[in-house]
Amino acid sequence: MFDKISELTKVRSVLELEGEICSKDGSINRVREQVYRLQKYEYMDIWKEDCNCVEGMMRSKLNKSGVPRIHKKYVKDWAI
């Protein structure tokens, strides 16, 4: 009865509601690819910044020193 919500729609709605999305978000597959599509085909201004959320740190791979790798978050530009 209900169609599946596409990954692109999920990323767009999170950016619209919250203004940012972590690249390590577990509920969405291939966040970076979806952000690229939004930038290229829907002309959204989305910026990339360092993220230090706890969930993302737990999902990140470790450096040789044992520290989690820095991951990114995508932020929608509200100035437009």
pLDDT tens profile 27-47: 888 999 999 999 999 999 999
12 contacts 38 by C-beta, under 8 angstroms: yes
Kindly state the average pLDDT of the residues 65-74.
90
DSSP 3: P
CA angle (68 as vertex; 66, 71 as ends), nearest 5 = 155
Q: Give the pLDDT of residue 1.
A: 41
Average the pLDDT over 51-69 and give the result: 87
The pLDDT of residue 78 is above 80? no
Q: How far is CA 28 from CA 13, 17, 21, 54, 65, in A?
A: 12, 15, 10, 17, 29
